[in-house]
Structure 1
């Protein structure tokens, strides 16, 4: 509903329970292990292909669609970029000297890109070339006991210099975090109820957390958790 005419066909991994295939979704049966799931979901895609990487523990709340369409057009013609995030938050906003290269880049529409030094905010929705994910997950263990461990694991993987990851200086999206320690956050619970998506039995009772990432122009909250 936020981007009704989006150009994507989503690849949705599953182990046992699949959904109904459609024009905008295809379901890929994968092993249960996280690394193998990523590799199988990317199977058949060229290393240089751009994808919309959208891990399911984040979801969009607001999108500046017209601007994001411009960004898609720009990176499609970029030979140097391997990733573009359009929600600048957390360390990318609070500690730019530690997380961002000092020299900005101006895109074909006049927007400012800042280059990320490492893997900061790699789990937020963003545009990536397939080769970036294949490399990152290829350096992780075959079996990862908990998804939470991937934060520490990614920090042990040096990012290749040729995998240049950018973030827009201005925000064009707000995302919500879905869960906390296995319980559904209240912001996600309320969003699901509004959109009339069926809740699993184990997510019937939310916690009291509201967690959002990013802000749009004129808003005062960058990362909210209450």
Structure 2
């Protein structure tokens, strides 16, 4: 089982997006130097050298196969950190997030916790959230999410939740964007209880939109010194962020 000081971070990415993945990891290291994550990175041909914080895994080329392969040796009840490469952290209230993660991992009634409240969970709570609330020992309020709202934002999950979702997605997923609609055809199990904090403790940026690097990600990657491949040298001009502190 994962412990609070070592959590498998399951990264959904592919070889073409390696620079985007490097940036995602760089941002976690920069914002939270003692973060608890070990990033598990899938690849087809572009491997890497394992380190204390990074593990590389040869995976199938398809999206569903990649995720299920990364989860294959992980127990259903084990906690993972789910991070799709099209998001990256911009601001993290790290002390608070660390305590939230620690509490969630000791809470049998919790199967997922998101600490970035944005979009539907913020703007249309009646559609995205159940009316009841739970409070942790520190006084933080958790709101329970309906369906799969905000499942693509980085968050803490039990492996069984992600495994269930991807097992029931079609074998052929034409693009990562297509999962936005496809996930709605998979009923979330009532016993898989996913929560979001009432208060927001993180800001994330979107890395790409329809395969084009966003302006915010482009500028952040330049500032980080990460070399951009040719196909990510023409940003969209759009700034896309999620959450406000």
Q: TM-score normalised by the shorter chain: which range applies?
A: over 0.9
Matching of residues 45-124 of structure 1 within 5 Å:
45-124=74-153
Indicate the residue corresponding to 2:176 in structure 1.
147
Please say if 1:32 is aligned against 2:32: no
- Flag the structure with higher helix content: 2
> What secondary structure is seen at the aligned counterpart in 2 of 1:23?
coil
Q: TM-score, normalised by structure 2?
A: 0.87
> What secondary structure is seen at the aligned counterpart in 2 of 1:9?
strand
**C-alpha distance in structure 2 between counterparts of 1:160 and 1:45, whole Å:** 20
Equivalent position to 1:192, from 221, 224, 235: 221
Shift of 1:20: 2.2
Indicate the residue corresponding to 1:221 in structure 2.
none
> What secondary structure is seen at the aligned counterpart in 2 of 1:122?
coil
Instruction: Give CA-to-partner distance per residue, 1:191-212, whole Å, 9 cap, x none.
Output: 0011111111111111110000
**C-alpha distance in structure 2 between counterparts of 1:215 and 1:99, whole Å:** 19
Indicate the residue corresponding to 1:205 in structure 2.
234
Coordinate RMSD, CA, aligned: 0.7
**C-alpha distance in structure 2 between counterparts of 1:83 and 1:159, whole Å:** 12
**C-alpha distance in structure 2 between counterparts of 1:168 and 1:15, whole Å:** 36
Instruction: Give CA-to-partner distance per residue, 1:83-140, whole Å, 9 cap, x none.
Output: 0000011111111011101011101211000000110010000000000010000111
Shift of 1:7: 1.4
Shift of 1:19: 2.1
Q: Where does the alignment leave 5 or more consecutive residues of structure 2 unmatched? A: 1-29
Contact 2:177 2:210 in 1 (8 A): no
Indicate the residue corresponding to 2:212 in structure 1.
183
Q: Where does the alignment leave 5 or more consecutive residues of structure 1 unmatched? A: 217-226
Please say if 1:43 is aligned against 2:42: no
Q: TM-score, normalised by structure 1?
A: 0.94
**C-alpha distance in structure 1 between counterparts of 2:181 and 2:242, whole Å:** 20
Runs of 4 or more consecutive aligned structure 1 residues displaced over 2 Å after TM superposition: none
> What secondary structure is seen at the aligned counterpart in 2 of 1:77?
coil
Residue-pair matches, total = 216
> What secondary structure is seen at the aligned counterpart in 1 of 2:244?
coil
Please say if 1:173 is aligned against 2:188: no
